[in-house]
Amino acid sequence: MTEENGKWFETTVRVRYADTDQMQVVYHSNYLIWFEVGRTELIRDIGYAYRRFEDLGFMLPLSETNLKYKKAARYDEELLIRTQVVKCERVRLVFGYEIRRLSDHELLVTGETHHIWTTTELKPVRIEKKMPELYEIMKRYERV
């Protein structure tokens, strides 16, 4: 985790040839996959692997997403995925993302994903009542 503008979790990926189009530019939907990589690793870093959520009977389905493309990523570049908890509410959780080229830290994409805490049957739950310790951990990581 880093502390610049809130608590960011950082991880890296390398652009594979399969991630690109014929021009060797990253195909746009891959950024959502990399958002998931960042989110999953952030959750793992705070001590709750996503698998554990499911084992405890919770899920975090996606309800909304947005991305802003600034520059193209290309084949074989190493990318820095920065992820943070933007907002942690009783039923909702919002993550923010930046994807940067690792070599020069050029900002390529920003975005957010919005999620709802649910049971495995996809019924919304108030996480602060069902798992108060998890709610408190997520609140500590929330951007201020």
76 is catalytic: no
Which among 19, 21, 55, 104 is annotated as catalytic?
A: 21
Say if strands 58-59 and 118-119 run parallel, antiparallel, or are unpaired: antiparallel
* Distance of alpha carbon 57 from alpha carbon 71, whole angstroms: 39
For residues 75-100, b (16+ Cβ closer than 10 Å) or e, as one string?
bebebbbbbbbbebbeebbbbbbbbb
Q: Tell me the two tokens of residue 57.
A: 């009977």
Residues with a catalytic annotation lie at 21
